[in-house]
Amino acid sequence: MTGTLVADPSSTLAGRRVHVKVPATSANLGPGFDTLGLALAQYDELDVAVADTPGVHVEVHGVGAGEVPLDESHLVVRSIAHAFARAGVPLPGLSLVAHNTIPHGRGLGSSGAAIVAGVVAAKGLLDGVVEFTSDELLELATELEGHPDNVAPALFGGLTIAWVTPDGPRHKKLIVHRGVSPLVLVPEHEMSTALARSLQPESVPHEDAVFNVSRSALLIAALIQSPELLFQATEDKLHQHYRAGAMPETDRLIRELRSAGHPAVVSGAGPSILVLASDPSERADAIARAEAVADTAWQALPLAVDFLGATVQPA
Ligand code: HSE
């Protein structure tokens, strides 16, 4: 990151206020474990202001209200603090008001969205004082999230391929074919990403690795050019079956949807399901099928792909 010499950053930042908007995301997309992610048009929005007094004031409306902490341990505040620390600027007092719609604990990138909101808010508040490159924003967010597959699409929008290098995480953004019509099915219960990750084996058979390499490569072609290949391209042997016992309802409904020809996968670490339908009519068929066979309540969210990623504007 590059800084501009400012005699007293705290007086420069006084009164600054930004509005941040961050999309939900679905990671893995079947075979692309810890690598592929898609930004979806459902958003958390926040107003963040530099306060006159030290400390933080946090208000949360919508999803998470009454559940998430309202002090320095709030994930957005921790993320802002992380970016300020890296920039070498003392953290000012902050007032933060969040309006959240991304469900928590359902595999739709809510923690990644909170982290990205913080990093992007810091970028906005430090405008003209410290400049962050795209790689630096991704690095800051990945440091807090642990893996880049949700934070990359939350930051940049569209379909993202994210990978880790000795110099930090990197990403490539791709524009999804306009036929692709994502459907998210959200159950009432939550799933812990930490638990899901603990179910992954240390090593996998070579043939399973080859299987996923082929499907991940095919998935990129299917998503940007050939949606008719989405069913085969969403096959996976690296993570979903290891985790299936921890989310039996998800596993059952995915089997039902796939047996009817729908490209259904676990969204992120679950328990939501992502169906990558090739057109809106297939999406409607998948909703009808899910309603007919599901044994528990699922909320159907037909969501567009978000092509913009996180935005920050002076407010
Ligand atoms: N790739 C991650 C996982 C996404 O499946 O564990 C959830 O954070």
CATH code of 116's domain:
3.30.230.10
Rounded to the nearest angstrom, the distance between the alpha carbon of 39 and the centre of ligand 1 is: 14
83 and 204 in a common domain: no
**What atom in ligand 1 is closest to the CA of residue 149?**
1
158 and 81 in a common domain: yes
**What atom in ligand 1 is closest to the CA of residue 197?**
6
218 and 165 in a common domain: no
| Residue 152 forms part of a structural domain | yes
217 and 111 in a common domain: no
Rounded to the nearest angstrom, the distance between the alpha carbon of 149 and the centre of ligand 1 is: 7
What's the pLDDT at 5?
64
61 and 132 in a common domain: yes
205 and 64 in a common domain: no
Q: Could you tell which of 25, 26, 29, 33 is best to mutate to test the pocket of ligand 1, judged by most ligand atoms within 8 Å of the CB?
A: 33
Token duo for residue 304: 């567009």
186 and 166 in a common domain: no
Rounded to the nearest angstrom, the distance between the alpha carbon of 144 and the centre of ligand 1 is: 14
**Per-run averaged pLDDT (10 residues), the chain, 315 residues:** 73 94 98 98 98 95 95 97 96 97 97 98 97 97 97 98 98 97 96 94 97 98 98 98 96 97 97 97 96 89 98 96
| Residue 213 forms part of a structural domain | yes
Q: Could you tell which of 25, 26, 28, 110 is best to mutate to test the pocket of ligand 1, judged by most ligand atoms within 8 Å of the CB?
A: 28
Cα 214 from Cα 236, distance rounded (Å): 10
39 and 132 in a common domain: yes
Nearest CA, atom 6, ligand 1: 269
Domain count, the chain: 2
Cα 1 from Cα 217, distance rounded (Å): 33
Domain CATH number, residue 202? 3.30.70.890
190 and 152 in a common domain: no
Rounded to the nearest angstrom, the distance between the alpha carbon of 269 and the centre of ligand 1 is: 5
Nearest CA, atom 3, ligand 1: 269
| Residue 1 forms part of a structural domain | no
Cα 38 from Cα 23, distance rounded (Å): 10
What's the pLDDT at 3?
77
Q: Residues in the chain, how many?
A: 315
> Which residues line the pocket of ligand 1, CB cutoff 6 A?
27-28, 33-34, 147, 149-150, 193, 196-197, 239, 268-269
169 and 74 in a common domain: yes
| Residue 8 forms part of a structural domain | no
| Residue 4 forms part of a structural domain | no
162 and 20 in a common domain: yes
Residue 314: CB atoms within 10 A of its CB come to 10
Nearest CA, atom 5, ligand 1: 269
Contact 42/303 with Cβ under 8 angstroms? yes
**What atom in ligand 1 is closest to the CA of residue 269?**
5
**What atom in ligand 1 is closest to the CA of residue 28?**
1
Q: What Cα–Cα distance (Å) separates residue 158 from each residue in 119, 165, 239, 265, 266? A: 19, 22, 23, 18, 19
Q: Could you tell me the pTM of the whole model?
A: 0.96
Rounded to the nearest angstrom, the distance between the alpha carbon of 127 and the centre of ligand 1 is: 32
HSE of 24, CA atoms in CB hemisphere, 13 A: 28
Which domain range does residue 288 map to?
Answer: 181-302
Rounded to the nearest angstrom, the distance between the alpha carbon of 150 and the centre of ligand 1 is: 8
| Residue 200 forms part of a structural domain | yes
277 and 157 in a common domain: no
